[in-house]
A and B are shown apart, each in its own frame.
Chain A
C-alpha cells in the first residue's frame, strides 16, 4: 500500500468520523410512546385524547392555541378585536399560511371549519364549545367576523381546543386517515396498531422546529412500557402508566422524570338523585369518610394534588377547599346517624379501567366500610361505563377523572350523570359566561367552587398528575397537560 492510498484512507476515515459526529450532534428524530392509539386523526370528530396528542399544534392549528403553561395565545389568528358588548369577534388571520397540500389558508377555511362544527349533522364531540356562534362572516381573505348570540368570556379559550382546529374543505374527505393541516409537521405514515410518523413541514409559516421526524408508538401494557423505556427503544413516554416504576427512572442517570399536572379532577362521582345520596348529610358523610392522602399514596404512589372542589389547583382562580371535607370518620358516622343511616347502607361503586379508579376504588371502599357504608365494587370497561353510568345513570358511586380543562360548567347541567340540580349554581354560570372582566371572573369562579364544595356534590379526591419519562437529553417537553397534546415544535435534543 503506497503512501498515497494510506493518506486517502486516513482522510476517508476522518471524513467518516466527522460525518458520524455531526450526525450525533444533530439528532433530529424522536420516538414518543403513548398508551392508546388514536382511532383516526380527525380531532374535530372524536373525543379520543390520543388524536389530540398526535395532531394538536403538530399537524393542525386553531385560531388560538394553548401553551404548555395553560395560557391561550394567538394561533392562526394574529390578533382580534372584541366588540364592546362582547358578542362580535373580528379575527385578523396570519398572512402566508398554507395547508400541507399547498393551498392557502384563508377566511373561507375558517368559516368552513366553524360552520362544520356547528352544523346540524356535525360529528364534533365538543359541540357545546361552539354553542353561542350565530354567524361566521368572511370580511376579506384575512379577516373573519364571528357573531355570538350572547357574550361568552370563554370563547377564545374554547377556540384553542383541538376540536376547534382549522381544516380545509379540499382535504376534509380523507382527514381521518390523511390529515392535512397548517402545522409545523406533516402526516407521514401510519402503521396501524404500531406507530404514526410525522415529518417536518419545510413550508411552515412559523419557526422551523428542531425535529425532522417524530414517531409515535403505542404501548398500552404498563410492563411493556417499562421494558421499552429501560431498553431505550423509545425516547419519551408521554404519560407513563405505572407510577410505581418512576423512582427507578429517577435514580437512573439515563432518564428524566417530569411530574406535572393535568386538567383531570379525579372525583368520587355521586348520583345526587339516587337515595340516599339525595340527602346532603349523606354526601357530606361520604366526603368526611374519605382520606385523600391515603388514596394519592396508595393508588398513585404519591403523585397527585388533593383537591376540595372541581377545579385545577394550578389555575390562578383555584380556592383550596380541602379543609371543607377533611378526613373525619367520627363526623361521617354522626352525619350518617343523623340522616337515619346509623347502621350504614349499601351502594355500588363502578370502576372504569384506569389505575386511579381501580386502585383508588379499593381504598375508598375500605374507607367507606370504616364508617358503615358497604360499596359493592363493579369493574367496568369504558364502553360499559358510558352506557350504564354516564348515559343510564344506574350507579351509586363511580370514580372518574374529568380531564376537560375548565369544566366546572358541567355542574350547571342537571341532566349530567351525577345529576346536581342547583338553580343557584346555574344562575352563577350564566353570570360567569356573560362576564369578560378577568378580576370579576376569578371572583365568580371562586364562588362556584365554594358552592359545589359546600353542597358536597361529589367526593373531590385529587388532581391527576402527568407523569412523563424521557431520555436525559430531550428538551422542551410539556411538563403539564393543559390539554392533550405532545407539542413537537418545542422539542429538541441537548447533545
Chain B
C-alpha cells in the first residue's frame, strides 16, 4: 500500500508540474500587455516602463515562471496586477461565494434527480417514465443561462420574490446569503439534475436486471421493497461518480451564471482577470482548480485501492 501511495503521489507531483508549465505558457502567449491595459491610450513610454518594473514584468518569462511557482510552493500566489491585492486573499473571498453556490446547486440537483430517476426507473416505459425522460431531455438541451434569465424574469421582475442578482454577503446572516444564491443555484442545478436523473434511471435499470434482485423478489420482498433496499443502494455508485464530476464543473464552470447574476465568484474573477490581462490571477486560479481536481483524483485512487486490494498490485 505504501509503495502504491508513493507511486500515486509521484504521479500527482509530475501532473502538477506539467500543468503549471502548460498553464503559464498558454496564458503568457495570449497577446496583450497588462501595463498598457491599465494605463490606456495616453500612457507615455516611460510611464509604461515604470509600471512594468513595479509589477515585476520587466524580467524574463522563465524568471517569472520560477518566481510564480516558487511563490506558490510557499503559499504566496503573488499580487494581482490590477487590483494590487494578494491573489490568495482574492481567491479566498470569491470561494465564499462560489463554493456555497456549487454546494447549493449540487444539493438541489440531487434532490430533484434522485426521486425523478427512481420514479422513472420504477415505471419503465410507462407514461410517468416518458414524462420524466422528456423533461430531462429538455433540461439537457436548454442552456442554463436561458433558465437563469427566465427565473429572473418570473421571480425577480414580476413576482419580486428575489433580487435580480448580486450577493448579499454572509455577514448579513445565513438566510440572506442563501436567499441571494437561490435563483443562480436553481439555474445551475436544473441541467445538472437532468443529467443526474438520467444516470440514476439507467443505473437503477441495470441493477434491476441483476440476479440478486430476482433473488430478493423470490425471498418475498415486494417490488418496491426490493427496489429501495437493494436496487437504489447499488445504483448509487455510478451516480456518486457523476456527482463528483459535476461538483468540479459547478465550481469552475459557473462563469456565465455568475455574469448573469453578477455574483462576485471565482468564475467572474477569472473572466475579469482575462480581459484585464491580470495574468497572475488567471494563472493562479486555474492552477488552484487543477490542483483541486488532481488532488481529488488522488484521494479517490487511494480510496479505491483501500477498498479493492487488487488495484494495489496493478500499478
Contacts from A to B (Cβ < 8 Å)? 37, 39-40, 45-48, 120-128, 176-177, 191-195, 217-221, 223-224, 227-228, 230-231, 233, 353, 381-384, 386-388, 390-391, 404, 417
Which B residue sits closest to A193, measured CB to CB? Answer: B264
Given contacts A123-B39, A217-B262, is CB(A231)–CB(B157) below 8 Å? yes
**B276–A383 contact, CB under 8 A?**
yes
Alpha-carbon separation in the docked complex, A223 to B157 (Å):
12
Which of B32, B42, B264, B275 is close to A387, meaning CB atoms less than 8 Å apart?
B32
In the bound complex, residues from chain B placing their C-beta under 8 Å from that of A193 are 93-94, 263-265, 268-269, 272
In the bound complex, residues from chain B placing their C-beta under 8 Å from that of A47 are 38-43
Which B residues between 121 and 163 are near A, CB-CB below 8 angstroms?
149, 152-153, 156-157, 160, 163
Some 23 contacts from A to B, beta carbons below 8 A apart, are: A37-B272, A45-B51, A47-B43, A48-B40, A127-B47, A192-B85, A192-B90, A193-B269, A194-B166, A220-B262, A224-B262, A227-B152, A228-B164, A230-B156, A231-B152, A383-B31, A383-B33, A384-B31, A386-B33, A386-B36, A387-B36, A391-B33, A391-B36
Nearest first, the 5 A-B pairs at minimum CB distance are A47-B40, A383-B32, A193-B264, A39-B82, A227-B164
| Interface residue tally on B, bucketed by range | 35 or more
Which B residues between 268 and 312 are near A, CB-CB below 8 angstroms?
268-269, 272, 275-277
Alpha-carbon separation in the docked complex, A48 to B276 (Å):
10
Kindly state whether residue B66 has any CB partner on chain A within 8 Å: no
In the bound complex, residues from chain A placing their C-beta under 8 Å from that of B83 are 39-40, 192
**B149–A223 contact, CB under 8 A?**
yes
**A384–B32 contact, CB under 8 A?**
yes
Alpha-carbon separation in the docked complex, A353 to B42 (Å):
19
**A40–B82 contact, CB under 8 A?**
yes
Which B residues between 229 and 275 are near A, CB-CB below 8 angstroms?
259-265, 268-269, 272, 275
**A128–B259 contact, CB under 8 A?**
no
Alpha-carbon separation in the docked complex, A177 to B276 (Å):
18
A121-B50, A220-B259, A390-B36 known; 10 new pairs, CB 8 Å cut-off, are: A47-B42, A123-B51, A125-B40, A125-B43, A194-B167, A223-B149, A224-B260, A227-B165, A230-B156, A391-B33
**Tally of A-B Cβ pairs under 8 angstroms:** 151
**A227–B264 contact, CB under 8 A?**
no
Alpha-carbon separation in the docked complex, A221 to B258 (Å):
10
Which A residue sits closest to B54, measured CB to CB? Answer: A123
**B32–A381 contact, CB under 8 A?**
yes
Which B residues between 25 and 45 are near A, CB-CB below 8 angstroms?
31-34, 36-44
Residue in A217, A220, A404 with the greatest tally of chain B CB atoms within 10 Å:
A220
Contacts from B to A (Cβ < 8 Å)? 31-34, 36-44, 46-47, 50-51, 54, 82-85, 90, 93-94, 149, 152-153, 156-157, 160, 163-167, 169, 259-265, 268-269, 272, 275-277
Closest Cβ of chain B to A215, distance in Å, is 10
Alpha-carbon separation in the docked complex, A121 to B46 (Å):
7
Residue in A126, A227, A384 with the greatest tally of chain B CB atoms within 10 Å:
A227
In the bound complex, residues from chain B placing their C-beta under 8 Å from that of A382 are 37, 275
In the bound complex, residues from chain A placing their C-beta under 8 Å from that of B275 are 353, 381-383
Closest Cβ of chain B to A228, distance in Å, is 5
**B272–A386 contact, CB under 8 A?**
no
Residue in B157, B166, B167, B269 with the greatest tally of chain A CB atoms within 10 Å:
B166
**B38–A39 contact, CB under 8 A?**
yes
Alpha-carbon separation in the docked complex, A391 to B44 (Å):
11
Alpha-carbon separation in the docked complex, A18 to B265 (Å):
41
Which of B32, B41, B93, B163 is close to A233, meaning CB atoms less than 8 Å apart?
B163
Alpha-carbon separation in the docked complex, A227 to B33 (Å):
34
Which B residue sits closest to A392, measured CB to CB? Answer: B31
Closest Cβ of chain A to B268, distance in Å, is 6
In the bound complex, residues from chain B placing their C-beta under 8 Å from that of A384 are 31-32
Closest Cβ of chain A to B128, distance in Å, is 36
**B276–A125 contact, CB under 8 A?**
no
Given contacts A228-B165, A231-B160, is CB(A383)–CB(B277) below 8 Å? yes
**B41–A224 contact, CB under 8 A?**
no
**A221–B259 contact, CB under 8 A?**
yes
In the bound complex, residues from chain A placing their C-beta under 8 Å from that of B31 are 383-384, 387-388
**B40–A231 contact, CB under 8 A?**
no
Closest Cβ of chain A to B53, distance in Å, is 8
In the bound complex, residues from chain B placing their C-beta under 8 Å from that of A122 are 47, 50
Which of B32, B40, B166 is close to A228, meaning CB atoms less than 8 Å apart?
B166
In the bound complex, residues from chain A placing their C-beta under 8 Å from that of B153 are 227
**B40–A191 contact, CB under 8 A?**
no
Alpha-carbon separation in the docked complex, A123 to B82 (Å):
13
**B164–A224 contact, CB under 8 A?**
yes
Which of A223, A231, A381, A383 is close to B156, meaning CB atoms less than 8 Å apart?
A231
